[in-house]
């Protein structure tokens, strides 16, 4: 963070993504960046029977993922894909 001089210890990340295939795109990208995959939880619709994650309906899954990897960062990409259809702009 701006103004901080001390580094922070590594922490987990939860990636809620709806566009890229986790096995074909996300995992190879993380590996290329030398990410510690044990600290990363990727929500992949392919792993949930093709059903996309929606918020707030699947918040428990997100909370469990945060706890499992001790996440300090949750990335929602794209945010509108994780919302129920009735909350999305222009739908």
* Cross-strand partners of 41: 14
Q: What is the predicted pLDDT for the residue at 79?
A: 65
Q: 58 exposed, middle or buried (CB, 10 Å; 0-12, 13-18, 19+)? A: middle
Identify the segments of the chain with pLDDT beneath 70: 1, 45-50, 79-91
Q: What is the predicted pLDDT for the residue at 77?
A: 81
Query: The pTM is what?
Result: 0.75
Token pair, residue 84, equals: 């129920």
């Amino acid at each position: 963070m701006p103004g901080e001089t001390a580094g922070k210890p590594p922490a987990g990340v939860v990636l809620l993504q709806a566009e890229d295939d986790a096995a074909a795109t996300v995992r190879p990208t993380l590996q290329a960046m030398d990410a510690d995959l044990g600290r990363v939880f990727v929500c992949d619709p392919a792993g949930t029977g093709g059903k996309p994650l929606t918020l707030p309906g699947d918040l428990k899954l997100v909370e469990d993922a945060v706890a499992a990897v001790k996440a300090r960062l949750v990335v929602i990409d794209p945010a509108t894909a994780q919302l129920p259809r009735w909350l999305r702009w222009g739908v």
